[in-house]
Amino acid sequence: MDKIYKLSELKDGVKASIVKITAPKELKSRLLSLGFIKGNHICISEQTLTKATMKVKIGNNNSFALRHEESEYILVEEL
């Protein structure tokens, strides 16, 4: 198994697989409903200059904006 990273630590454009969501119950439920599910492929496509917000692509078609603090709860493994 490769190294596990927080999504917030992943570099732009690097593809990864979601390993686990460690968020509190309400946030975890919201993330799961948006497609942040174990095994799904994910990639950070853009970040703001301050890195406070990032655009994340899940799979081939879905893109979402996440706050940096939300991305701290998503554990990923590089592909």
Q: What is the mean pLDDT of the chain?
A: 92
pLDDT tens-digit readout, 33-60: 999 999 999 999 998 888 899 999 998 8
Residue 16 has pLDDT above 80, yes or no: yes
**What are the residue ranges spanned by the domains of the chain?**
4-78
Classify domain 4-78 by CATH architecture. Answer: Roll (2.30)
Which whole-number Å values give the CA distances from 17 to 4, 20, 31, 48, 50, in the listed order? 10, 9, 15, 23, 25
Helices then strands, each counted (H, E), the chain: 2, 6
